[in-house]
Amino acid sequence: MTHLFSPLTLRGTTVRNRVWLAPMCQYSAVDGLPQDWHLAHLGAMASGGFGLLLTEATAVVPEGRITPQDTGLWSDAHTEAWARIVDFVHARGALIGTQLAHAGRKASTFRPWDERSGSVPTSEGGWIAPAPSAEPFPGYAVPAEMSRHDIDDVVLAFAAATRRALAAGFDTVEVHAAHGYLLHEFLSPLSNHRTDGYGGSLENRARLLLEVVDAVRRAWPTDRPVLVRISATDWTPGGLTVEESGVVAGWMADHGVDLVDVSSGGNVPAEIPLGPGYQVPLARAVREAAGLPVGAVGLLTTGAQAEEVLAEGSADVVLLGRAALRDPMWPLRAAAELGIEATTGGAVHDGPIAWQPQHERGAWRR
């Protein structure tokens, strides 16, 4: 038995293993609709043995997209397009959640491989980004400070997108409150200078996040988990601290959140001490402070390393980003390395990890 290839049950939902795909933007949607690319990309990850896949940041409203090529869930056409992908992933034995997102002041930017960087001008299909305060992310256009009405609309949009996620067949939803996007912008004193009930104290800065969590929880079945991704620290003096994040995670647990996916940074340019597993201590700190399951992510690259993170009690699941892009078969490879026999013979719904029958002749044999 390994920790990595043990099931995890959150509420009434059991995930076959604890190697999960981190949410990763593909910047390849058209009007928010996922394309064949998304089916091929996520389909490969499901075939590779991930227990649960998280979709890329999927905007709850068009103006909540990071780039005009982000996916969304703001209309029934989006529900339908995602349902096809969800069904494909399920047929491979994996579960799938969608990361519900609003990019706040980091919305309306060029995608990474565009010749230009920074904000897309309104004259070229961009839009003015909404934010807690009218202060830009360095190098981006100045956002518009949100009114109370705008805030209420965001909460309603998260609830509506959650209902669509349910209709599309997703197993979980992850609220994106990390990386300097809208909910993180509210949480951090570096980007939130409001003087109303949504700014100032930690309780006020966390108000919008908890309102979103409540709205999502109400729209989501009680037997399916709700996850939240946070940036546990801004890595900047005067910014959000891991101690504050532990407190907020405790509040989230009280509001029905089942697992916190612990990332960091993104709200302001900062020097981040990058290295193998560099965010694992943050996950552990949040887990200990809040007493709820957490995910660890960030430069986890080998099966032995990922197993150790779970074995030492730092986290309950690991999420892989770039290692999965390099090798969608990462979980099957790690299972072979750790001596776990993957299910064969087409029984993809049995056991912690399975070979798709079409790929079986490539199986690593002991």
Active site residues: 181
Q: Work out how close the CB of 314 gets to ligand FMN at its nearest, in angstroms, rounded to a whole number.
A: 15
Question: Number of C-alpha atoms within 13 angstroms, CB side, residue 62?
Answer: 9
Subset of 70-129 contacting ligand FMN (CB under 6 A)? 99
Q: Work out how close the CB of 315 gets to ligand FMN at its nearest, in angstroms, rounded to a whole number.
A: 13
Q: Work out how close the CB of 353 gets to ligand FMN at its nearest, in angstroms, rounded to a whole number.
A: 19
Q: Decide the pairing of beta strands 172-177 and 95-101.
A: parallel
Q: Work out how close the CB of 136 gets to ligand FMN at its nearest, in angstroms, rounded to a whole number.
A: 21
Amino acid sitting at position 184: H
Q: Report the length, in residues, of the chain.
A: 366
Query: Cβ distance 306 to 19 under 8 Å?
Result: yes
Size of the site for ligand FMN (CB under 6 A): 20
DSSP letter at 327 equals -
39 burial type by CB count under 10 A (0-12 exposed, 13-18 middle, 19+ buried): middle
Pick the closer one to ligand FMN by CB: 101 or 206: 101
The residue within the footprint of ligand FMN, chosen from 10, 15, 25, 240 (CB under 6 A), is 25
Q: Looking at the chain, which runs of residues are DSSP E strands? A: 8-10, 13-15, 19-21, 52-59, 71-72, 95-101, 130-131, 144-145, 172-177, 226-231, 259-263, 294-297, 317-320
What is the rounded CA–CA span in Å between residue 89 and residue 147? 40
Per CB under 6 A, does 22 bind ligand FMN? yes
Q: Work out how close the CB of 127 gets to ligand FMN at its nearest, in angstroms, rounded to a whole number.
A: 19
Per-residue burial over 262-292, b = 16 or more CB atoms within 10 Å of its CB, e = otherwise: bbbbbbbeeeeeeeebebbebbbbbbebbeb
Binding mask 291-330 for ligand FMN (x = CB under 6 A): ------xxxx-------------------xxxx-------
What is the rounded CA–CA span in Å between residue 73 and residue 218? 18
Select the span of 21-29, 185-193, 338-346, 357-365 touching ligand FMN (CB under 6 A): 21-29
Subset of 223-262 contacting ligand FMN (CB under 6 A)? 229
Pick the closer one to ligand FMN by CB: 3 or 351: 3
Pick the closer one to ligand FMN by CB: 129 or 178: 178
Other residues' Cβ atoms within 10 Å of the Cβ of residue 322: 13
Pick the closer one to ligand FMN by CB: 105 or 348: 105
Q: Work out how close the CB of 344 gets to ligand FMN at its nearest, in angstroms, rounded to a whole number.
A: 28
Select the span of 80-88, 175-183, 230-238, 239-247 touching ligand FMN (CB under 6 A): 175-183
Per CB under 6 A, does 179 bind ligand FMN? yes
Per CB under 6 A, does 176 bind ligand FMN? yes
Per CB under 6 A, does 217 bind ligand FMN? no
- In sequence order, the 6+-apart residues with CB closer than 8 A to the CB of 322 are none
Per CB under 6 A, does 184 bind ligand FMN? no
Query: Cβ distance 123 to 111 under 8 Å?
Result: no
What is the rounded CA–CA span in Å between residue 363 and residue 147? 56
Task: Point out which residues pair with 335 in neighbouring strands.
Answer: none
Per CB under 6 A, does 23 bind ligand FMN? yes
Pick the closer one to ligand FMN by CB: 126 or 266: 266
The residue within the footprint of ligand FMN, chosen from 3, 8, 34, 56 (CB under 6 A), is 56
For binding to ligand FMN (CB under 6 A), which residues are involved?
A: 22-25, 56-57, 99, 176, 178-179, 229, 263, 297-300, 320-323
